[in-house]
């Protein structure tokens, strides 16, 4: 079964938060004749989005045009503080999250999960500078400082920035086995961390 992966981006998203998982899912699929994942960068419109430090990314899917994803990846970055109260983005993310098989938040993307009320009673990690804010937004979450990623079943949260790559490898391993994750890491020449802590 080919899974649809939606990677949510917005103004001032952190570049590696979305580019890292994009590469992992895309390469894993490429190694299997592009049969495993259909990876989309999703934003409100198809207009170029200015990520942090001026990096411009052109989405290849929009809120209106994206199918319900099997895997929802929520990038972090300075822009999460603004978009966590954006009604259109929160409505789309909430709808996508409700039907997704797996939700992967990267870095401060956990703010969006908190805004959706999805972190209550879960073990959660995020960027090391975000723990106090996540504790305010989701006081019932059980924070795991120092964890590279935390898998609670449907929801996987990762630490800061590059940790999203390890979170994506974990999803590939969970769905298609450690062999594919290892082959993808070898192709990318990346030493991925299989452990959560």
| Sequential pLDDT tens for the chain (197 residues) | 899 999 999 999 999 999 999 999 999 999 999 999 999 999 999 999 999 999 999 999 999 999 999 999 999 999 999 999 999 999 999 999 999 999 999 999 999 999 999 999 999 999 999 999 999 999 999 999 999 999 999 999 999 999 999 999 999 999 999 999 999 999 999 987 666 54
Q: Which residues 6+ apart lie within 8 Å of 30 measured at CB?
A: none
Question: Top-level CATH class of 3-188?
Answer: alpha beta
Closest CA to 145 of 166, 167, 123: 123
With beta carbons less than 8 A apart as the criterion, state whether 160 and 107 touch. Answer: yes
Question: Residue 1's pLDDT is what?
Answer: 86
Angle at the Cα of 77 (from 26 to 125), degrees rounded to 5?
80
With beta carbons less than 8 A apart as the criterion, state whether 157 and 125 touch. Answer: yes
The residue count of the chain comes to 197
Residue 64: how many other CB atoms lie within 10 Å: 9
Residues 47-56 as b or e (16 or more Cβ within 10 Å = b): eebebbeeee
Question: Residue 79's pLDDT is what?
Answer: 97
Delimit the domains of the chain by residue range.
3-188
* 6 secondary structure, DSSP code: E
Q: Rounded to the nearest 5°, which phi and psi values hold at 39?
A: -100, 125
């Amino acid at each position: 079964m080919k899974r649809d992966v939606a990677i949510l981006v917005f103004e001032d998203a952190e570049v590696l938060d979305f580019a890292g998982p994009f590469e992992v899912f895309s390469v894993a699929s490429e190694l299997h004749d592009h049969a495993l994942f259909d990876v989309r960068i999703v934003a409100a419109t198809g207009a170029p989005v200015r990520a942090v430090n001026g990096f411009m990314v052109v989405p290849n899917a929009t809120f209106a045009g994206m199918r319900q994803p099997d895997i929802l990846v929520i990038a972090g970055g300075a822009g999460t503080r603004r978009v966590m109260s954006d009604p259109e983005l929160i409505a789309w993310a909430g709808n996508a999250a409700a039907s997704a098989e797996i939700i992967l938040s990267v870095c401060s993307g956990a703010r969006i999960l908190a805004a959706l009320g999805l972190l209550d009673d879960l073990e959660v990690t995020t960027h090391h500078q975000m723990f106090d804010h996540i504790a305010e937004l989701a006081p019932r979450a059980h924070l795991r400082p120092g964890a590279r990623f935390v898998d609670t079943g449907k929801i996987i949260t990762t630490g800061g920035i590059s940790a999203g790559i390890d979170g994506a490898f974990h999803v590939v391993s969970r769905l298609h086995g450690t062999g594919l994750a290892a082959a993808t890491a070898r192709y990318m020449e990346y030493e991925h961390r299989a452990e959560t802590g």
